[in-house]
Every structure is written in structure tokens, then in C-alpha cells.
A = this chain, B = another copy of it.
Amino acid sequence: MADKVRLGIIGLGAQGGLYARLISDGKVPNMVIGAIVDHDPAKRELAASTYPGVPVYEDFESVLDSGDVDAVVTTVPHYLHPEMGIAALSRGIHPLVEKPAGVYTKQVKELNEYAATKPELTFGIMFNQRNNPLYQRIKEIVEAGEIGKIRRTNWIITTWWRPQGYYEQSDWRATWGGEGGGVLVNQVPHQLDLLQWIAGVPKSVFAKVAYGFRRNIATEDEVTVVVDYGEGATGVLVTATHDLIGTDRFEILGDSGKIVVEGSKTAYVTRLSKTEQEISDSIGPDDVKKMFMGEMNLDSYQETETIEYDRPWGQQHAGVLENFAANILDGTPLLAPGSEGINGVRLANAIHLSSWLGEEVPLDLDEDRYLDELNKRIRDEGKFAERS
């Protein structure tokens, strides 16, 4: 293979346009635009005039057999990611699926199972926030056991503000049949991924979800979730697309430390010199009395480090593209393996299902039941075909 991966960009919308620009601006040194695909003639014209010399296709299937691309990125509505991923793999093309990996776990499982039969191909997912050096550092700290075993997480992520006009940009946006959900499938998949990447996969969730609550949409615009990781570890996640002024505050409490990330930008990492349990056990009756006299000082047990990185806009996406291409070219480990996309989809499905049933739902959920409930909503909406 040549020293650069030729990427087919499937869909020249906001994301596809961003990736095309990053590559043509040289921000992804090991990648070139191999082709651009869009079913909209206006978008194809735009592609031809903006990127002269780049082959332009109307149809996804034909680019796969064109010989113009080594890989594709699927910047199309979420429902299509699994089937396009499978189609690419079946033609020997490396797929980078846009997040989320799909809308429901059943379809994502099919993609993962098929991808497992093609180990020679690179299967990635665009979790650009995994390329935020702050979250990478936090994952390292947690994995190294520097704050001990995780006890609790709490993420308020309500900076996903979207005005009504945003939802009116396209027909499929925030519909059941076209998009498959609202904030859970569009905005917050980043955090659903980071949360599980850093803190692990939960066992169950209980969710309160509001549908078309403060926006004129069919799907969810506000979500409150209680997460159970098992062994007593719990978490809370709150998200919404209608909060002014939104909050982005992620707290991770461990047995021997705590991390607070403010605005996905600054992290305060407190490390304890002993575990909380050891400190508790070391405090005798006299110390308890002192504590209530305000005379006990826990400061000697702790030290707090502040971590901050610059985070240029676009670098995250360019980094994922570059890492994906590097895996194809020389086997550099993938930052975001495609098979991990299912975690976010499963968590989103469980949150929906919990809210629909009004009860706590295991992450190991009944996939057919989820699909039935989803299809009910697609039927009621009456705009798109049901899914299978």
C-alpha cells in the first residue's frame, strides 16, 4: 500500500465537510481524500468545485468497487452506520464509522460480528473526544490505580445547547425513524463513550427522560440517569439540549482519590496517601471528638494536582483520522476500535428502555424488546420505515 490512506467521505454534511477540510488542509498527514459520495446533486457540485480532481460519486455502493478508496468514513444518519460498515468490510475497504455506531444494539452487534470475520481490515469509530489529551491522562490515572477503585461518578453534561432552529435544519433530525433518538444518539454519545472508557461498563440504569419537552421534537431532549456499576459503585449522568447556561462537570470518586473535570478542560486530581477505609479505621474516639470540635485536619492525607491542556478545535477529529490511517498503514494501536462503539449504543438503549418501562433496566437488555418499543414510536411518528 502507498504511504497515505485514500479516504472515501460518505456524505458531505457538517461532519463530512469538516473531515474533507482537515485532510485537504494537511492536518492528517497520512491521509488523502480518495472520493466524496453524496446523493444530493448540490453537495456533489460543491465537492467538485471545492476539491477539484477528487472523484465524486452519487452512490455509496459504487465507490466501494471504484478502486479510488482504501477506507471510508460514514458521515450519514446513524441508522446507516452498521450497514455501510458491513458493506465496506465485505469489499475489503476499512470502515471508520461515525458515532454512534448505530441506533440499536442488534444492528451494531451484526456489524461487530461481521467485522470480527475480517481481522485484516481496520474498523474504527469517530470518538474524537478520546483524543482529548485531558481525558487520555485521566484514563491513565484511573487505570494506574492512582485514585483507587472507582466508587462513584457524576457527570452533568448540559453544554449541548441546541435552539429549536437546529432541529429544523433537516427532516430526520431528532425523529424516531430518521435519527433514532435525540440527545442520547446525537450529542451525548461522546460522554457515554468516555464514561465507560474511563469508569467501565455499568450493570444497570434507572432513567427519567423527557421527550419533546422544551423543543418541538419527537425524541428526548433531557435525561437524568442513575447508573449502577455493580459492587456498590454508582453514578449519575444528567444531560439536556436546552440548558442555558449549561454545565460540564465530571466527578470521579475512588477509594483513594477524586478527580473533578470542569468544562472538559481542567482536571483537579486529588490523591490520598491511604485509602478512605484506612483513614476511617485509623481514627479513634478522641479523634472523633476533635473532628467535631473542628480540630481534625485531613489535609495531610491529600494532595491536589491541577491538569490543563490546550485543545485546538478540529485537532481531536484529525487525530482520530490519523490514528485510523496509521493502524491501516503500520498497525499502530487504534485509539477507538469500532467494536467499542456498541458500549455507548447499549447504554443509550438501556436509558430509553428504562424511561419507557418506568423501571431499572440491566445493560444486558432484551434487544428485541428495545427494537419493538422503538418501532412502536417509528410507527406512531409515521414518517419513516420500521427497522428490523
Contacts and interface: CB of A to CB of B under 8 A. Distances in A.
Interface of A: 14, 151-152, 154, 156, 158, 161, 163-166, 168-169, 206, 208, 210, 213-215, 222, 224, 226, 228, 232, 234, 236, 238, 240, 242-245, 247, 249, 251, 253, 258, 260, 270, 272, 276-277, 279-281, 283-285, 287-288, 291-292, 294, 298, 301-302, 313, 358-360
A337 to B, nearest CB: 28
Given A245-B258, A276-B242, A359-B359, A288 B163 contact: yes
Given A168-B285, A213-B232, A288-B169, A226 B206 contact: yes
Contacts of A251: 156, 247
Contact of A210 (B165, B232, B260, B298): B232
A53 to B, nearest CB: 26
Q: Quick one: copies of this chain in the complex?
A: 2
Contacts of A226: 206, 208, 224, 226
A254 to B, nearest CB: 10
Contact of A285 (B165, B236, B240, B247): B165
Given A208-B226, A208-B228, A243-B276, 18 more contacts: A156-B251, A163-B291, A165-B283, A165-B285, A168-B285, A208-B234, A213-B232, A214-B232, A215-B280, A224-B234, A242-B276, A243-B253, A244-B272, A244-B276, A244-B279, A244-B301, A245-B258, A245-B302
A154 B152 contact: no
Nearest to A298: B244
